[in-house]
Chains A and B, each alone.
Chain A
């Protein structure tokens, strides 16, 4: 079948099962857009900034488990994707980005809107392609999809010259099948490392599972739960691991790391075995490596061998797909009784377990933690929550209890402000029946708020909670703790977000009192369509506990009193 390069792009997307793509047109990608007229089954979402397109593709992938697709023109269109691609790379999110490129004859001549986007994205993609001939497009597209989701997932970019989009060639889907490259090795649960791992697990007195994003990516939730229950091992989660193990499970400890619960970090420091599942010992979770979990043997189950022994010296590593490796281990794990260890953890929780902030008296202040906790109760914990980056992100992680996988979508590795609103749009397309909430700061929301227009144009139903503290709060917190309260460049003017919503023809409300929180959340939920809530919260509130960057994990700055949530008492 003869097809133009432009048609091949859509033909491949259609066959990959792609229904929605996020993009923005321009000269160098016009032939492809023109060919899209012949593919009405593919829905193109016009974004307001290409960064949004990449975040939408990312949100789509994270919420639905498929591959998200973004498309942009050459030059500025392509460079605007960069932050979104880097975000997806750091968080192993499978997206495919397609960019137009100037004609192949013009490459290297600084033609209008020429940018070396394959060069620029080299370190932030799993792989990328510069396609100058229509013939090469089919195989590249197929391989790109395969690469994006195989092994450790990640972003792949395909840069297609204008002439390659215009030229015609024979296209055969089957022939374009990628010759699968080295990525997957033969299983060998008989390997001695399996016995070593089992030996450590079965003899551990104080084990802790460190649950990471890999569990969600591998779909190993069931195996992890079965494993934890059988061996009676408590589970600590990374930020991106939230949802991989039910928050309401008795073995759940909560989040570890910089803003993790004190008892979680203490348990890690006291453990005699860490079982790291699909996580990479990021500096935000380990703190000072020299003093990290000093008594613990470490078992690492991980698909990316480059992560093994990268930050933390590992005793036994099992490289492979988590679901399979755990499945192999499971029958050989002894049913455990770790009563002393579990009661020790219970003891650690002590009064810090008074996280039931609902019962705190209303002192006339509105705290973000209350807002998030009320949101959790009102939505029954069933919403897909997409956060931005900052204090509100940490409060979400602490106070919204996620029982289901893929219900917290957040930029972890890169910490990209501006992620929430566009990622939520992608999530809504992936899961149209889910209740999707954005939880964003006043700073980050303003970075990509133009995507409200996309929401309106697409008639989406996304609830937006802006946690408005009048500051770039997380940075302000650092200034408070480490720079003697010199609040340089962190106080933040914001427009009236309710009026802003009105300008997009969207309803909204501002909330200043604690008593208004629940009624307003209910009103937003009853409204069919997008609703914007401006929660004007306590301005100088801080996230506790906090392990200062690079400090020992057990050296946490604690909430001055477990019953007090605010920096007032600091």
Chain B
């Protein structure tokens, strides 16, 4: 499940969110945080290994954190998912050209070259990056860094779907009604 969480950028907020997942027994696969277009508001993309019911529980619990403004489960919303990777590959004069060609095929970029290695940078959906990594493995991956998933829904901001409470419709299970 992929959750996009908007939080007030207060000290300790990452700790509060991470602590909630730990305490409720959910395993975070990846978590990215960064600024948003609004000052003082950060955005987290959290990928967690759970089912629909688990995601609803997480959402409801996230809303209990004072600094959480909005939670969106974008797993099945049409969205753009991206991951950034930097991969350092062993490269000899014999293999370098071949690696560069593959890099090109994957629309990745070479950002550092030296006599024994190359650093390749790529962004894309995770499966595309996974594909590149698989191919490069044969040449010897010396080092790799990946950001983890960031996500954004397609189309204009779904501002309207957030009701007075700041809760969006995705939490609204058919059988649940919200009042006062």
Contact = CB atoms under 8 A, between A and B. Distances in A.
Interface string B36-70: 00000000000000000100110011011110010
Given A127-B66, A185-B167, A310-B57, A305 B178 contact: yes
Given A182-B166, A304-B64, A188 B178 contact: yes
A442 to B, nearest CB: 34
B61 A306 contact: yes
Contacts of B15: 119, 122
B76 interface: no
Contacts of A372: none
B46 to A, nearest CB: 17
Interface string B159-175: 00001111100010101
Interface in B69-99: 69
A309 B167 contact: no
Interface in B144-180: 163-167, 171, 173, 175-180
Nearest to A127: B66
Given A118-B12, A182-B63, A309-B56, A320 B178 contact: yes
B66 A324 contact: no
Contacts of A192: 177
A306 B57 contact: yes
B164 A186 contact: yes
B57 A185 contact: no
Interface stretch (A14-22, A67-75, A311-319, A391-399): A311-319
A118 B16 CA distance: 10
A317 B176 contact: yes
Contacts of A321: 179-180
A147 B12 CA distance: 18
Contacts of B166: 182
Contacts of B12: 118, 130
A105 interface: no
Interface in A136-158: 147
B16 A122 contact: yes
B23 A123 contact: yes
Contacts of B179: 185-189, 191, 318-321, 324-325, 328
B63 A185 contact: no
Nearest to B61: A306
B180 A182 contact: no
A305 B60 contact: yes
A193 B177 contact: yes
A116 to B, nearest CB: 10
B19 interface: yes
A182 B165 contact: yes
B23 A193 contact: no
Contacts of B178: 185, 188, 191, 305, 319-320
A127 B102 CA distance: 51
A184 interface: yes
A319 B166 CA distance: 15
A118 B15 CA distance: 11
A308 interface: yes
Nearest to A321: B180
A305 B63 contact: yes
A306 B176 CA distance: 12
A355 B56 CA distance: 44
A376 interface: no
A202 to B, nearest CB: 17
Contact of B19 (A122, A193, A328): A122
Nearest to A319: B178
A181 interface: yes
A156 to B, nearest CB: 9
Nearest to A314: B175
Contacts of A315: 175
A317 B66 contact: no
A309 B173 contact: yes
Contacts of A191: 177-179
A119 B16 CA distance: 9
A324 B16 contact: no
A487 interface: no
A135 to B, nearest CB: 15
A96 B57 CA distance: 27
Given A188-B178, A191-B177, 9 more contacts: A182-B166, A185-B167, A185-B180, A188-B177, A304-B60, A305-B176, A308-B60, A309-B57, A320-B177
Interface of B: 11-12, 15-16, 19, 23, 53, 56-57, 60-61, 63-66, 69, 163-167, 171, 173, 175-180
